[in-house]
Amino acid sequence: MLVTHGGWLKASNVIILRHRQKKFVKNSVEVLKKHKNALGVAVTGFGKTIALSAVIGQRINKKKKALVMAHRDELTRQNSTKFKKVNPEISISLFNAEQKSFLGRTVFSMVQTLSMEKHLVSMRPVDLLVIDEAHHSASETYQRVIGRAVELNNKVEIFGVTATPERSDKKGLRKTFSKVADIVSLPEMIRAGHLVPPRALVIDIGTQKQLKNVKKTANDYDQAEVEAIQNTKINNDQVVVKWLEKAKDRPTVIFSSTISHAEDVVDAFREAGVDARAVHSKIGMKKRRETLEAFDAGDFPVMVNPAVLTEGWDCQIVSCIILLRESSHKSVVIQMVGRGLRKVDPNLYPGVIKTDCLVLDFGISLLTHGNLNSDVILKDDKESEEKEKQKKVCPNCQAEIPIQTMVCPLCGYEFQVQLDEDGFYDEAQELRLIEIDLLNMSPFRWVNLWDSEKILIANGFDAWACVCSANGEDWYSIGGKGREVKILGISNRSGAIASSDDFMHQNESNRTAKKAAAWQNQPASQKQMQMLARFGMCQILSKIQAAAYLTFHFNRSKIERFLGV
């Protein structure tokens, strides 16, 4: 039960954007207005589909139309579903293998279908062309649609979003995009609590010197040469020994150099009595799917693959990544490490607690690419905001990009990290994280109960959320709506705050958030004080504080049961 000051307000189903999503949208809209094209880069876990939808909502009016392109049908449907939650008033239609309609003000299309000549001829003019997974935009199919859109309307705005702008075929994105609107990096998402932090350890098994001399092919390191160095009985046994020492209780994904390397690593683990299995292109789709499902169910602890799981696959329980392959592309390394950074949904994995991801690098990937950050971490938020306003020019492709960018999203040029004892990353150290104050950025007011720092409560009109810990290490995110109370996540403190804040965003509206926030300037009502007195509380409180304490007391038994106290 939620106690308010006398009324209930139905929350809208419209999604409230996170603070960082709002900034991403603002930056993207500003660049589109000024330059007519913009690329936004955001790593996995950011919610780029939500941000993409918000950009569209701000750039098209009742007379304008938008076209959203994706390369997979599931992306088209996913994008259209989330779009309606952000922009319920904007009509949509689909143009894919099953439906072919341009009637909606926003059309969601499969590029393979739309790029066919017979469909390009019937294509309608649009005012905004949006490209999801924009790193594919250099391909011929995308370029045909882009060319047709410009032909039909030479003032069309082009907006792209991607998590991995660097292409392995070296085809830059400069042909389509000249401006980078914003970059949301892996460290930023970790600091904001939306991903778990990695703990990286570089282990030299006597191969680092040889690996540094491996030649590069047109796209990457020669993986056959990497295998010749890494894939020996002695080396594979060392990997198993270190895993047993450092990560035997962690579900683990290993990235090998080749298929034969993957199979040999599996054999080494099995010889040590550890159930390990491989997935690769020579295994049929049915068996691959069964293996992935079994790993996700916790049936075996170690899965080995030669980079087939770098994208398009997420398993929340993965808490250890082992790197046995090398990549000259930082984006690929980030993708591999990213497989282990997802937070765990306790409703899907009861009893599983994950607060970090251990990264064991038996090669030189982390030595080559540093801390995998695509930006520079500054000394404080104020300095960071000032830096975000500044731009610099890529010396390779002359694109204007945010000054904190360390890898040009348009051509892949890597800037050298400047080391600074006052707060910049030191590449010789593990990733250092600076926690962003999520509570101050939230539209909801979080109340610290009894000044304990261990119980935080946020109230709305339809929902409430709690962040709490019994031991100061494992932080529980708990949400309630109506009679239902459930665990939202178990992680570190910032991760729990992020999960709880997301729950409030999903179940409240901007209007209810502002109305509830206003309670902090109002004294508790007489009814609230009477109820608090029943629990032995007589101190003077604001209305928002009183609501938080009452919410806790009414749900105390359920919260304590989740905590096991």
pLDDT on residue 7: 26
pLDDT by 10-residue block (mean), the chain, 565 residues: 28 66 93 93 84 94 90 78 90 89 93 92 95 88 94 96 67 81 84 82 87 76 87 95 95 95 96 96 89 95 88 84 84 83 88 89 80 37 43 76 67 58 36 48 85 86 92 88 90 85 85 82 89 85 90 92 84
Ranges of each domain in the chain: 19-185, 198-367, 443-563
- Write the CA distances from 390 to 43, 113, 325, 353, 402, integer angstroms: 22, 40, 37, 40, 6
Question: Please, what is the Cα angle at 322 between 319 and 326, to 5 degrees?
Answer: 140
CATH of span 198-367:
3.40.50.300
pLDDT on residue 370: 63
pLDDT on residue 371: 57
pLDDT on residue 432: 34
Tokens describing residue 351: 């009893």
Helix axes 73-86, 48-59, angle to 10 degrees: 60
CA distance 133 to 161: 6
- Write the CA distances from 5 to 210, 447, 525, 539, 548, integer angstroms: 70, 17, 6, 18, 13
pLDDT on residue 467: 93
Domains 19-185 and 198-367 share a fold: yes
pLDDT on residue 314: 76
Tokens describing residue 289: 């799917």
* CATH superfamily placement of domain 19-185: P-loop containing nucleotide triphosphate hydrolases (3.40.50.300)
pLDDT on residue 338: 84
Question: What backbone phi and psi angles, to 5 degrees, belong to 421?
Answer: -65, -10
